[in-house]
């Protein structure tokens, strides 16, 4: 009798890379097929793929990189921060408050200060979840998921009520933030070189923190087992707290960036975040939690998102939905390819054993 | 008063929470529940509108649940994918497909709304609760299922096929959740817009965890939440007056209440000895690798 057996294995780097590329190619093929199925035109498929050489992709690179870098730290510690979306919204809420309701915005350091406020907001929001985890033992994946919804509804409450703008004709959104708070974009494009530069700098910084510091090592150890950290004389709670707060702060910072660079006003919570916090989770894992790979993957996923905006303009009307399916399929194919990296299937002959 | 607890929303939520209890008791962290719920809602709507037949919609939604259970089980049990990531990926795919499927019939109304009276709802809630409890605590399969969630290695040593048990648990659980989505659309909402149902799956998940995965506690919490939710809509329109204090809440704040309450409840339950009374599935979310056998 033949039987399939699954065996663990270690693959070399070149084979790992080959498998990753295969899963990416598979995903692209699937997305091309989906676009073709919806629009029925090969021209649209080709037009869609130009997003990979469109500089507007850099707008997604900035935001996704910043969030995913933070998530890399949390996930290395095996802390499931699924709340980047909510932390982003809270960051944006605080940045909106800063821009609209304090006079500090017009000062020379206005934008920087606003981004710091946003980061602190995201950090505070993530603190709730990690505090419940450390001191009570509530699963942090669950807590962050629930807190996302609280954050969305908080934003909705503000834009539908107290913060609704006077010049928006009843739409649920605030007025535009003052021009002094706008991060200038390159003429004709929707991205700012400052944000891209900041994202790349942060990449290097997080890489150094993760690979070259005692804290980075402690985070890695925490991911392996709590006892390991405690045995080396470091408080596991402190490491967990710090790692989680860093991921929250970076997500909050991304909220500030989205507000100052792209949206320039607060809108309904889920619309504002547009699922970027969840997309960043996928970015972090596609990058194998390696900070240096994060900008590359962000660019790739950003191009996919931009591609779908293009399709929407082309008239399919369900661009966002298609984008979700494709990014989801991308993650599924990565998960499956990870299986083939770590395990081998072999067929063995089993002699007729009767149990 | 009783009809407030036994409204269609309560039934939908109860079924979804019970389904989640069955899935998670087998050790599968069920984050895909939100995508499943949203997709099943969209499928119910589309098939109901297209065929004008609730039976066809019911068959379609059950098929949808079964397919997703098999796909998720493949990812988790065969490809040993991380439960959180597999769940999130499935969610994204399902949200997307739901929008694509539902948008074709956007703006159309259901031919008939499925009305259910309080007694029917009460009977269905009681019956599904009792059956789930019997399955989990009074059958050998239920014991095997819970063993897989508590310690899959030991379960295997006792001769239980963990992969197969988890697959059956997911099939059963997903069908219950799909039924919940069917009731949610056909009896409670009655119309569809893009993204309808988002968040309800996660709410069901959090209620299941808040009830510590116990099939008798779960419907109590679910119906209470449904009652709270339905009453909240009234509080909005008729502000409660306590003495001179007027409680007036915005719709957004009301919508946030279940999520805050779930978080508070989970925290309370975890912080008190209640946690030890109902032994939760300890191996929840652990991918289980059987290792190579020399047979």
Cβ-Cβ contacts under 8 Å, B97 against chain A: 321, 325
Question: In the predicted model, is pLDDT for residue A10 greater than 80?
Answer: no
- The whole domain housing B128 covers 2-277
In the stretch 187-226 of chain B, residues with CB closer than 8 A to chain A read 194-195, 198-199, 202, 205-206, 209
Collapsing DSSP to helix, strand or coil, A6 comes out as strand
The CATH number of whichever domain residue B16 belongs to comes to 1.10.3470
Rounded mean pLDDT, A223-235 = 82
Q: What is the predicted pLDDT for the residue at A56?
A: 85
- Nearest-CA distance B128 → chain A (Å): 26
- Helix, strand and coil content of chain A, in percent to the nearest 5, comes to 75, 5, 25
Q: What is the predicted pLDDT for the residue at B244?
A: 65
Nearest-CB residue to B100 (from A150, A282, A321): A321
Total domains in the fold of chain B: 1
ipTM of the complex: 0.84
Cβ-Cβ contacts under 8 Å, B250 against chain A: 157, 160-161
User: If we measure between CA atoms, which residue out of A264, A271, A139 comes closest to residue B281?
Assistant: A139
Model confidence pLDDT, tens digit, residues B175-213: 999 999 999 999 988 888 888 888 899 889 888 877 878
Rounded mean pLDDT, A132-153 = 89
CA distances from A177 to A170, A184, A250, B175 (A): 17, 13, 22, 48
Question: What are the DSSP calls for B243-273, one per residue?
Answer: TTEEE---HHHHHHHHHHHHHHHHHHHHHST
In the stretch 236-295 of chain B, residues with CB closer than 8 A to chain A read 250-253, 255-256, 259-260, 262-263, 266-267, 270-271, 289-290, 292-293, 295
The token pair at B93 is 């795919």
User: If we measure between CA atoms, which residue out of A37, A12, A20 comes closest to residue A333?
Assistant: A20
Q: What is the predicted pLDDT for the residue at B230?
A: 80
Q: What is the predicted pLDDT for the residue at B245?
A: 66
Model confidence pLDDT, tens digit, residues B86-124: 998 899 899 989 988 888 888 888 888 788 888 889 999
- The whole domain housing A179 covers 57-295
Chain A interface includes B30 (CB < 8 A)? no
Chain A interface includes B137 (CB < 8 A)? no
Has residue B295 been placed in a domain?
no
- Nearest-CA distance B139 → chain A (Å): 24
Has residue A306 been placed in a domain?
no
Q: What is the predicted pLDDT for the residue at B294?
A: 43
**Can you name the residues that pair with A343 across neighbouring β-strands?**
A8
The bridge status of strand B245-247 relative to strand B240-242 is antiparallel
Total domains in the fold of chain A: 1
Report the C-alpha gap between A274 and A269 in whole angstroms: 8
**Can you name the residues that pair with B247 across neighbouring β-strands?**
B240
Q: Label residue B295 by pLDDT band (50, 70, 90).
A: very low
- Between A and B, how many CB-CB pairs are < 8 A? 145
Nearest-CB residue to B256 (from A141, A149, A326): A149
Question: In the predicted model, is pLDDT for residue B3 greater than 80?
Answer: no
Rounded to 10 deg, the angle between the B33-51 and B54-73 helix axes is 150
Has residue A130 been placed in a domain?
yes
Has residue A63 been placed in a domain?
yes
Cβ-Cβ contacts under 8 Å, A353 against chain B: 295
The token pair at B22 is 């069955």
- Candidate ranges A120-124, A218-222, B263-267; pick with highest mean pLDDT: A120-124
* Residue percentage of chain B with pLDDT more than 90: 44
Has residue B145 been placed in a domain?
yes
Has residue A331 been placed in a domain?
no
Has residue A185 been placed in a domain?
yes
Q: What is the predicted pLDDT for the residue at B239?
A: 65
Q: What is the predicted pLDDT for the residue at A91?
A: 97
Please answer yes or no on whether B99 and A132 come within 8 Å at the CB atom: no
Has residue A159 been placed in a domain?
yes
Question: In the predicted model, is pLDDT for residue A331 greater than 90?
Answer: no
Q: Label residue B293 by pLDDT band (50, 70, 90).
A: low
Beta-strand (E) ranges in chain A? 2-8, 343-349
Chosen from A79, A90, A149, A162 to mutate, greatest number of chain B CBs within 10 A: A149
Has residue A39 been placed in a domain?
no
Rounded mean pLDDT, B147-151 = 90
> Residues B40, B38, A298, CA angle at the centre, nearest 5°?
130
Chosen from B257, B263, B267, B294 to mutate, greatest number of chain A CBs within 10 A: B263
CB B15 within 8 A of CB B184: no
Has residue A90 been placed in a domain?
yes
Q: What is the predicted pLDDT for the residue at A318?
A: 66
Please answer yes or no on whether B205 and A141 come within 8 Å at the CB atom: no
Report the C-alpha gap between B142 and B160 in whole angstroms: 12
Q: What is the predicted pLDDT for the residue at B186?
A: 92
Question: In the predicted model, is pLDDT for residue A355 greater than 60?
Answer: no
Question: In the predicted model, is pLDDT for residue A253 greater than 80?
Answer: yes
Higher pLDDT, A104 or A144: A144
Q: Label residue A74 by pLDDT band (50, 70, 90).
A: very high
- Nearest-CA distance B30 → chain A (Å): 11
Work out the end-to-end distance of chain B between its first and last CA atoms, rounded to an integer number of angstroms: 62
Has residue B289 been placed in a domain?
no
In the stretch 54-83 of chain B, residues with CB closer than 8 A to chain A read 75, 79-82
Question: In the predicted model, is pLDDT for residue A279 greater than 60?
Answer: yes
- Nearest-CA distance B100 → chain A (Å): 6
Please answer yes or no on whether B88 and A157 come within 8 Å at the CB atom: no
Rounded mean pLDDT, A263-280 = 89
Report the C-alpha gap between B199 and B214 in whole angstroms: 22
**Can you name the residues that pair with A206 across neighbouring β-strands?**
none
Q: Which long-range contacts (CB under 8 A, 24 or more apart) does B218-222 make?
A: B218/B14, B218/B17, B218/B18, B218/B21, B218/B129, B219/B14, B219/B17, B219/B18, B219/B125, B219/B128, B219/B129, B221/B17, B221/B265, B222/B10, B222/B13, B222/B14, B222/B16, B222/B17
- Nearest-CA distance B117 → chain A (Å): 31
- Nearest-CA distance B183 → chain A (Å): 23
């Amino acid at each position: 009798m033949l039987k399939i057996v699954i065996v663990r294995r270690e693959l070399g780097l070149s084979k790992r890379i080959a498998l990753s590329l295969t899963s990416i190619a598979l995903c692209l093929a699937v997305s091309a097929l989906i676009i073709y199925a919806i629009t029925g035109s090969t021209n649209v498929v080709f037009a869609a793929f130009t997003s990979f050489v469109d500089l507007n992709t850099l707008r997604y690179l900035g935001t996704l990189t910043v969030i995913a870098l933070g998530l890399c730290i949390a996930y290395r510690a095996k802390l499931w921060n699924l709340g980047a979306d909510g932390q982003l919204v809270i960051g944006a809420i605080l940045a909106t408050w800063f821009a609209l309701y304090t006079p500090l915005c017009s000062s020379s350091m206005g934008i920087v200060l606003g981004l710091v406020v946003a980061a602190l907001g995201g950090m505070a929001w993530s603190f709730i979840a990690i505090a419940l985890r450390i001191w009570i033992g509530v699963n942090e994946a669950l807590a962050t998921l629930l807190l996302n919804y609280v954050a969305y509804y908080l934003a909705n409450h503000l834009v539908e009520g107290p913060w609704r703008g006077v010049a928006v004709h009843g739409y649920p959104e605030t007025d535009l933030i003052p021009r002094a708070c706008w991060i200038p974009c390159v003429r004709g494009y929707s991205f700012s070189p400052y944000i891209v530069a900041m994202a790349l700098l942060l990449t290097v910084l997080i890489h150094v923190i993760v690979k070259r510091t005692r804290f980075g090592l402690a985070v890695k150890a925490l991911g392996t087992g709590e006892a390991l950290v405690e045995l080396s004389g470091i408080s596991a709670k402190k490491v967990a707290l710090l790692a989680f707060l860093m991921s929250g702060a970076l997500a909050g910072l991304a909220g500030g960036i989205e507000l100052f660079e792209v949206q320039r006003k607060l809108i309904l919570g889920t619309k504002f975040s547009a699922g970027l916090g969840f997309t960043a989770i996928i970015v972090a894992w596609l990058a194998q939690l390696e900070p240096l790979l994060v900008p590359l993957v962000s660019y790739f996923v950003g191009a996919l998102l931009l591609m779908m905006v293009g399709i929407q303009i082309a008239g399919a009307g369900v661009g966002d939905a298609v984008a979700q399916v494709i990014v989801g399929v991308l993650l599924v194919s990565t998960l499956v390819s990870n299986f083939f990296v770590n395990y081998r299937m072999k067929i063995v002959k089993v002699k007729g054993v009767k149990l | 008063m009783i009809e407030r607890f036994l409204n269609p929303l309560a039934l939908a939520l109860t079924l979804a929470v019970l389904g989640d209890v069955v899935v998670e008791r087998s050790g599968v962290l069920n984050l895909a529940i939100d995508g499943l719920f949203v997709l099943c809602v969209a499928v119910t709507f589309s098939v109901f509108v297209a065929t004008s037949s609730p039976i066809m919609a019911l068959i379609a939604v059950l098929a949808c649940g079964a397919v997703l259970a098999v796909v998720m089980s493949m990812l988790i049990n065969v490809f040993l994918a991380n439960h959180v990531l597999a769940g999130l990926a499935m969610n994204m795919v399902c949200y997307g497909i739901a929008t694509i499927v539902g948008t074709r019939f956007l703006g159309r109304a259901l031919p008939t709304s499925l009305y259910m009276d309080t007694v029917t709802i009460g009977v269905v809630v009681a019956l599904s609760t009792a059956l789930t409890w019997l399955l989990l605590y009074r059958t050998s399969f239920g014991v095997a299922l819970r063993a897989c969630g508590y310690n899959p290695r030991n379960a295997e040593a006792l001769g239980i096929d963990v992969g197969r048990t988890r697959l059956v648990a997911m099939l059963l659980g997903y069908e219950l959740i799909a039924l919940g989505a069917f009731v949610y659309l056909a009896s409670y909402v009655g119309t569809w817009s893009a993204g309808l149902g988002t968040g309800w799956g996660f709410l069901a998940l959090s209620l299941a965890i808040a009830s510590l995965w116990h099939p008798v506690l779960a419907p109590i919490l679910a119906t209470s939440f449904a009652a709270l939710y339905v009453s909240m809509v009234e509080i909005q329109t008729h502000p409660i007056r306590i003495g001179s204090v007027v409680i007036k809440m915005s719709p957004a704040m009301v919508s946030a209440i279940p999520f805050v309450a779930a978080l508070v409840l989970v925290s309370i339950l975890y912080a008190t000895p209640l946690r030890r009374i109902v032994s939760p599935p300890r191996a929840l979310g652990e991918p289980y690798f059987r290792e190579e056998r020399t047979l």
